[in-house]
Amino acid sequence: MAVSTVPSRPRQPKGQGQWAMGHREPLNANEQQKKDDIGLNVRARIENIYAHRGFDSIDPADKRGRFRWWGLYTQRRPGIDGGRTAVLEPEELEDKYFMLRVRVDSGQLDLAQLRTIADVSSEFARDTADLTDRQNVQLHWVRIEDVPEIWRRLEAVGLSTTEACGDVPRVILGSPVAGIAADEVVDATPAIREISEKYIGDPAFANLPRKFKTTISWLLDTPYEANDVAFLGVEHPEYGPGFDVWVGGGLSTNPMLAKRLGVWVPLDGIAAVWWGVTSIFRDYGYRRLRTRARLKFLVADWGVEKFREVLETEYLKRPLADGPAPERTTPIDHIGVHRQRDGRYYVGVSPVVGRVSGALLGRIADVVEAHGSGRVRTTPYQKLLVLDVDESEVDGLVADLAGLGLSAEPSYWKRSALACTGIEYCKLAIVETKALTADLVTELERRVPELDTPITVHVNGCPNACARTQVADIGLKGQLVLDADGRQVPGFQVHLGGGLGLDAGFGRKLRGLKVTAADLPDYVERLARRYLADRKPDERFAQ
């Protein structure tokens, strides 16, 4: 055999499509599509063309790509089982209706806004509405013909769907009790507003490598470890109250928890630091492979020291102050009745896995108003809070909400369950999630009513982890599994013992740990009973 004596040339590392390194040519179809025309521009085509000519007139590149910049996804055609998700062409999978995501930065809604969402749902979305685990509200069955009128109504009350989906800065999570909590030192709402007003819909940030998630809260009441950038309240011994900055969190496949940059930022400095971090993502983020395009991969490769240095020297042009780490606690969900710092109360209630309806939202608005409140908040746990309730109105409000099926004293099962959209509407789903989780909650309430501490159960319809599979006590990743007779049936890969806050870490994924959807109640019951029987005093499930 002839052996070549020519020394092989060292392989050049492949460009990752980073704009800052001069790679401006698109390396995949998504990047090409964004270069051809940014998603924000599709609004004019929806208003001027598609809404008049109907679904079949929509350019596929708009329908499956740019529409997301305005919160629109085609929804899954009913009746297609999960086994066919990966094999069907997009046009076979999709229905002629849309999911519309209403963006609710920091979950803040007044009654006019709540009623508008309710009316839009009833009139244009077959009465559907889901509170998401990012404080948004999602509607389904929306026709393209109705979208301009829906925007008109939403925008008339200060709501929007701008950049609710797509490769953009998504909704900004914020504390559901910002500005009212007794233990909040700094209300981050002004920073959230500043970012939203300056940068959401700004073409400069309308073509990021992928989605970009933000949270800003004084309290540990949002899943900050799972966001691309997070600002979390902290007291600096010298400078006083401000925010600790974390970058590079994200779940899905290849999950990573955000890492501390080690800097302290005052409230009025948050928007500039957010701008810098988002700009780094836009300029240095990887654009070759969608599967490596989230900020977490850049942070993992650079490390936080380099990330901070680039942020300070190339973008902010000034050093940031070193800061202390915030104290970790278990995440707060705000369910129940709590005193506000102004002496009034807020009440947190728990719709099952965030599923409500237009009619229910309308009735909630009536009840809230009847008890003298004018504000509600959605939470990143698919829950709802009513703010500013006088002491004399609390009991009546709690009773009226309970009458709507919204308990302020839900079981720990109901309180701690999350479910993503799943096969009912999502084109990527392999299994059903919402109804299954609602049934699971009912069954567990019956079988294990003595549960006296949260066990978080997060149900996901596929590996994308929209309902945060890896950071639940019991995280369930939808897939087809084999039943006792060897048949492929809907089921879940189980992740055990994940958590946020004090228990921050990913659940253990044991290869053989799979359960069919039908066996799920038995399985979770067994786990709960074993935990309740064997736990040491104060031992949490994740430990």
Binding site for ligand SF4 (CB under 6 A): 420-422, 426, 428-429, 460-462, 464-466
175 vs 382 by CB, closer to ligand SF4 = 382
351 vs 422 by CB, closer to ligand SF4 = 422
Is the Cβ–Cβ distance between 401 and 434 less than 8 Å? no
256 vs 426 by CB, closer to ligand SF4 = 426
Phi and psi dihedrals of 334, rounded to 5?
A: 65, 15
245 vs 500 by CB, closer to ligand SF4 = 500
17 vs 354 by CB, closer to ligand SF4 = 354
76 vs 414 by CB, closer to ligand SF4 = 76
Q: Which amino acid type is present at position 530?
A: R
Residue 283: which residues within 8 A CB-CB, separation 6 or more?
18, 19, 20
CB-facing half-sphere around the CA of 376: CA atoms within 13 A = 29
Closest distance between ligand SF4 and the C-beta of residue 445, in Å? Answer: 24
Closest distance between ligand SF4 and the C-beta of residue 130, in Å? Answer: 10
d(C-alpha 26, C-alpha 212), whole Å: 19
259 vs 477 by CB, closer to ligand SF4 = 477
115 vs 468 by CB, closer to ligand SF4 = 468
d(C-alpha 375, C-alpha 387), whole Å: 6
Q: Which residues pair with 477 in a beta bridge?
A: 460, 493
385 vs 418 by CB, closer to ligand SF4 = 418
Closest distance between ligand SF4 and the C-beta of residue 422, in Å? Answer: 5
Alpha carbon 166 to its chain centroid, in Å, reads 13
122 vs 464 by CB, closer to ligand SF4 = 464
Closest distance between ligand SF4 and the C-beta of residue 322, in Å? Answer: 38
One-character DSSP codes across 147-178: HHHHHHHHHHTT-B-TTSSSSSEEEEEE-TTT
d(C-alpha 344, C-alpha 234), whole Å: 26
Is the Cβ–Cβ distance between 247 and 265 less than 8 Å? no
136 vs 279 by CB, closer to ligand SF4 = 136
Closest distance between ligand SF4 and the C-beta of residue 101, in Å? Answer: 11
When CB distances to ligand SF4 are compared, the closest residue is 461
Residue 191: which residues within 8 A CB-CB, separation 6 or more?
216, 231, 267, 268, 270, 271, 274
Is the Cβ–Cβ distance between 303 and 383 less than 8 Å? no
Closest distance between ligand SF4 and the C-beta of residue 433, in Å? Answer: 6
408 vs 517 by CB, closer to ligand SF4 = 517
Is the Cβ–Cβ distance between 504 and 518 less than 8 Å? no
Q: Which amino acid type is present at position 411?
A: S
Closest distance between ligand SF4 and the C-beta of residue 427, in Å? Answer: 8
CA neighbor of 217 nearest in space, from 164, 270, 173 = 173
- Residue 362: count of CB within 10 angstroms of its CB: 18
Is the Cβ–Cβ distance between 131 and 354 less than 8 Å? yes
Tell me if residue 231 falls in helix, strand or coil: strand
d(C-alpha 443, C-alpha 274), whole Å: 44
Q: Name the token pair of 179.
A: 């500005």
Closest distance between ligand SF4 and the C-beta of residue 465, in Å? Answer: 6
CB-facing half-sphere around the CA of 253: CA atoms within 13 A = 7
d(C-alpha 412, C-alpha 447), whole Å: 13
Closest distance between ligand SF4 and the C-beta of residue 165, in Å? Answer: 11
CA neighbor of 420 nearest in space, from 409, 408, 429, 411 = 429
428 vs 542 by CB, closer to ligand SF4 = 428
* Burial 143-166, CB ≥16 within 10 A → b, else e: ebebbbebbebbeeeebbbbbbbb
108 vs 437 by CB, closer to ligand SF4 = 437
Closest distance between ligand SF4 and the C-beta of residue 382, in Å? Answer: 13
One-character DSSP codes across 37-65: S-GGGHHHHIIIIIHHH-GGGS-HHHHTT
CA terminus-to-terminus distance, the chain: 60
Closest distance between ligand SF4 and the C-beta of residue 467, in Å? Answer: 6
